[in-house]
Structure 1
Amino acid sequence: MELLSAENVVAVATAVAGIVASAVMVWYERRVPRRKRIGYRVQMDNPIGDDVASGRANVRVGLFDEAPGMHQATLVLLRIENDGSQGIGHDDYTSRELHGLTAVFTDRSIRGVSVTQPPGTDHLMSHFTPHAGFGYDNGGNTLRIPRVPLNRGEHFKVLVLLSGGDVGCDIRLIGGIRDGEVHPNRSATPDDKPPLFSRAARLITIMLTVSVLTLSTIVVFRDDSPPPLGCEQGTLTVTGSTAFAPVVRDLAKEYEKDCEGSDITVEARGSSAGVGELAALEGESRSKQASMIAFHDGASKRAGTSLTPHSIALSVFALVVNDSLKLPQGLSLADVRRIYAGDVKYWDELNPDLPHWRVVLVSRDADSGTRQVFQDQVLDGAWEGVPSTSLDCDIQTDRSAPVRCELDSTEEVLEKVAEIRGAIGYSELNLATAQKNLTRVPLDGATASVAAIEKEPDPYPYFGVEYAYTYGDPRGGSLAGSFLDYIGDSGETVIRSHDHVPCTAPEGDRLCRDTT
């Protein structure tokens, strides 16, 4: 082994650079004056009202259904804090207006505001009065925040009731601080404890120096026996889509078999839930962020800019009914939209030749990407119009017409449709094919199949791209990046065995790009 190899020289140079950076950090901490800063961050941005999902159950709030102007009601919790090293006084705000800061809630209207403060800061609340400029215009999207004096580490929170826009719309805090700044932050400190910058900086310096020296020692004296080409060791959690989970489990098994030392856990929680879990890693270490991949049926509307999508495969989905319901000609898209709008309560209302059975809609929950693709492509962007009437579509106790329930996984939907006469649901194609006691329904005369979506100019309408989301771009040498490369290079056979079209195949590349 050559001690002066290029790899070892780079490692030692990195160690030296780390020590120098540590020394500069200590000098800066002790010698350079710190600026005044006000930081802010959104700690909650949640929808409220009917059909708001809470865990695995459907919570039906109903509080704002009849209130004027409360369409798409949301609650936002905004934390504003002095995260600098100096106190901020009344005269430090540079606004020409009476108030000091302005919170802007893009595309939403303010309906109510409440201010909270941590224990020991009772003096803060006295500033939140109209005489100090605090308030908002009813129906407007800007909140005027007074010139609140804040000692180092102090904060307050503003709970805002909004309407007229979805969660995730841009929220900004505008204003100026003399000799300082107002900025979004990502503080990972406990909620009511101010960060101790000086001690933390020294601790980080020591840890950085020790880590870099250790890395240098390991690289110089380690065994150079190379692992298999492209393989990485470590642990990886793959979450998200229940429909695509069987494919991911098979891909993970193949990777673990080829790459010793890798441990990939597949936890299917639903597409949106998986993407939300990945997005929640904001503020965590890069290694923590790189330890998870979330699969989503179709493009996620809640991914934000911090998550990176990777198109993996084109998935075919199918509408299915209990096999006691005979629909030899299938359904038109117009028929399906009438059924899911609640316009058809009994099957013979759709066709006199059908039995007088109640329509039973077995749906996925709001976190489902399969449901999102169904609404976008089959219902032409509309939501399923029938409200949920029961937890499990028990037609013995639920006398509604039509009946509708929401379940947490594709497997549960298929099992329930297979049990109940008159039931209809939707599923990924391969899982639907394997389930007994149900029939796939042709749509506009086309039967669900991989071949059907390749037809031109009128392909089968119910399909979508399966995306793998990572936090930013996968780091070089990470298990997440290696696993995605493995899927693109070696996973085509596994993907095709589950009736999906790989996006890396020539025909798949065209279809995935056209569908994106």
Structure 2
Amino acid sequence: MNGFPLEIMLAIIGIAVPIMAFVWEFVLVGRKRLGYRVQMDTPVTGEIESVFPGVLPQLRPEGDGAAPELQDLSVVLVRIENNGLTDVDGTDYASPASDQVGLHIHFPHRRVIGMAVTELSDDALGDSLKPGTGIGSREDGQHRVGIVDLPKVPMDRGDHYKILVILQRTAGAGEYPVPVVRAKLKGGRVSETRSRSGVSPKLLGLIGFLVAVIAVQFVVGLNDQDTPDAADCGSGKLTLVGSTAFEPAVRDAATAYAKHCAGTAFAFEFDGSDRGLSRVDEDGKNDPGLLAITDGPKGVGYPNLLPRTLALSLFTMIVNPSVGVHDLSAQQIRDIYAGRVDNWQLVGGPDLPVRVVHRALGSGTRETFRKHVLGDDQPPAPAATSCRTLAATNPPGASFCEAPVTNDMLKTIADLPGSIGYSEYSDAAKTPGVKAVTIDGHRPARDQVLDHTYPFWSVEYAYSNGELPADSPAAAFLRFLTGGTGKDVLRSHGNTPCGELPNPTSCSPEK
């Protein structure tokens, strides 16, 4: 992007954010940290005795084992762990030095019946969890909260212990409220942790952020490579005239160009290659915003018009579906257009009169058809009538008519039984009621043109009246058409940009 190093800024952000997240998580707030996890919170059933044999008698409130009948009991297992970067000692707990208690586990709507330490990562932790060290239980009757007090246990990095508690419901019904650990560390924190078998949401968030940064960098890179720079956008009106066969591709390219160069206003007046050349020859000398697009090179009589090759375009023979013919030899096509074949039976089709449709004289597509398919030895075409008259009268034998532009050709072939014509291939492929016909068994494709087996193709040209000012909208649009996104648009319409051919200068498959 001009004048703004967006890619560099994205790279800096992509590096800085993970570093800042690491410093925040592990140096500033996570250097000293205690975590807790509620690993079990379940009603008492017969399964509890099998999982923790001999533990329930320890938890009964009377030492002789004769306990009063208890109702609605539950068992909770809480893991306390040092999951920070440094050790935690007794002085790190943020409670008065005279207070032995460092942590409190709150059980809302339940009172503690009994408790026991069930697992120590290091036997030395047991010295800090003996009776008299501050470990015990009590009840906040006013708020109906059972509380387990735990001492200021010194814990090395990675140490943990577990507390098993049996409780009785004092209020409410249904699921028990979640136990909560209350404590503070000097220069650190106490927080709930999650099982390490899964992926941390913070880690997922960081990964997602980095993926987003990379994706934005990729898109920005594509845009910088493929779209016109603001300095390369001409400002003003650009009128495009000429070939109706190449019109759809040029219109789509203009739409793509206008998204990035809003200062260019397009006008389209496509009514044939020859008319487009005449328009630019007459009006283009004083109007650098006028371009003619043609199928094939200009003819004689236009000495002031300068060419720019754009792309190799594919053309095809087309027939009405009633013809039932899928392939014609080049000689059969010549015979049909010379009037020597008057019924489709003669070339393998049904008993149906042939209706030959030509483009009007001056059409670039017609000249391409003459040059590449009919050849110079073809006799003059028989006299033509209007296609509308031909459809209404339906005369016997071969009949001829002319279509002035591509859309008229496609509509005539789709509507007129027994008809044959020709058009730009991508337009024909998208038109219902029109069937493409291969020539000598070869289809309209780039590889078949390059190996010289498919004959019906042409070079698309842009013509201006004299040299264009470098900052004109016409010059800027031509640069767009021959590079980046413009080439992609032309390619999407079945055309091959000249730079991709063996001879880019002449835009020819010939080496």
Question: What range is the shorter-chain TM-score in?
Answer: 0.5 to 0.7
Inter-CA distance 281–383: structure 2 relative to 1 (3 Å threshold): farther
Aligned to 2:293: 295
Q: What's the secondary structure of 2:303's corresponding residue?
A: coil
Aligned to 1:417: 413
Contact kept, 8 Å, 1:465 with 1:515, in 2: the verdict is: no
For residues 390-427 of structure 1, give each alpha carbon's deviation from its aligned partner in whole angstroms, at most 9, with x where no partner exists. 34353331525312111121111111111122110000
Aligned to 1:401: 397
Query: What displacement does 1:478 show?
Result: 1.1
**Matches for 1:39-118 after TM superposition, within 5 Å:** none
Q: Residue 376 of structure 1: which of 367, 371, 375 is its match? A: 371
For residues 462-510 of structure 1, give each alpha carbon's deviation from its aligned partner in whole angstroms, at most 9, with x where no partner exists. 0010000111121221111111011112211101100000112255727
Aligned to 2:303: 305
Query: What displacement does 1:451 show?
Result: 2.8
Q: Does 2:358 align with 1:358? A: no
Aligned to 1:254: 256
Corresponding residue pairs, total = 281
Question: What amino acid sits opposite 2:243 in the alignment?
Answer: S
* Distance across 2 between alignment mates of 1:371 and 1:511: 21
Contact kept, 8 Å, 1:319 with 1:426, in 2: the verdict is: yes
Q: Residue 502 of structure 1: which of 481, 489, 497 is its match? A: 497
Q: Residue 317 of structure 2: which of 309, 319, 329 is its match? A: 319
Q: What's the secondary structure of 1:431's corresponding residue?
A: helix
Aligned to 1:111: none
Q: What's the secondary structure of 1:327's corresponding residue?
A: coil
What is the root-mean-square deviation in Å for CA atoms of aligned residues?
Answer: 2.1
Aligned to 1:485: 479
Q: Residue 239 of structure 2: which of 237, 240, 243 is its match? A: 237
Contact kept, 8 Å, 2:319 with 2:419, in 1: the verdict is: yes
Task: Give structure 1 regions of 4+ aligned residues with deviation exceeding 4 angstroms.
Answer: none
Q: What's the secondary structure of 1:395's corresponding residue?
A: helix
For residues 237-261 of structure 1, give each alpha carbon's deviation from its aligned partner in whole angstroms, at most 9, with x where no partner exists. 0000000000110111111111121
Aligned to 2:339: 342
Question: What amino acid sits opposite 2:325 in the alignment?
Answer: L
TM-score by length of 1: 0.52
Contact kept, 8 Å, 1:317 with 1:427, in 2: the verdict is: yes
Question: What amino acid sits opposite 2:416 in the alignment?
Answer: I
Question: What amino acid sits opposite 1:266 in the alignment?
Answer: F
Q: What's the secondary structure of 1:468's corresponding residue?
A: strand
Identity rate of aligned residues, in percent? 33
Contact kept, 8 Å, 1:236 with 1:292, in 2: the verdict is: yes
For residues 265-302 of structure 1, give each alpha carbon's deviation from its aligned partner in whole angstroms, at most 9, with x where no partner exists. 121110111001111127x53xx2x1210011011214
* Distance across 2 between alignment mates of 1:429 and 1:508: 22
Q: Does 2:462 align with 1:460? A: no
Q: What's the secondary structure of 1:504's corresponding residue?
A: helix
Aligned to 2:468: 474
TM-score by length of 2: 0.52
* Distance across 2 between alignment mates of 1:376 and 1:515: 16
* Distance across 2 between alignment mates of 1:400 and 1:263: 51
* Distance across 1 between alignment mates of 2:289 and 2:334: 41
For the pair shown, the structure with the greater C-alpha radius of gyration is: 2
Question: What amino acid sits opposite 2:236 in the alignment?
Answer: G
For residues 434-480 of structure 1, give each alpha carbon's deviation from its aligned partner in whole angstroms, at most 9, with x where no partner exists. 011221111111011223212x2x32000010000111121221111
* Distance across 1 between alignment mates of 2:289 and 2:379: 34
Question: What amino acid sits opposite 2:263 in the alignment?
Answer: G
After TM superposition, the structure 1 stretch with the greater mean CA deviation from structure 2, 414-423 or 307-316, is 414-423
For residues 9-48 of structure 1, give each alpha carbon's deviation from its aligned partner in whole angstroms, at most 9, with x where no partner exists. xxxxxxxxxxxxxxxxxxxxxxxxxxxxxxxxxxxxxxxx
After TM superposition, the structure 1 stretch with the greater mean CA deviation from structure 2, 431-440 or 238-247, is 431-440
Inter-CA distance 261–232: structure 2 relative to 1 (3 Å threshold): same
Structure 1 unaligned blocks of 5 or more = 1-226
Structure 2 unaligned blocks of 5 or more = 1-228
* Distance across 2 between alignment mates of 1:372 and 1:320: 17
* Distance across 1 between alignment mates of 2:291 and 2:319: 33
**Matches for 1:149-164 after TM superposition, within 5 Å:** none
Inter-CA distance 420–371: structure 2 relative to 1 (3 Å threshold): same
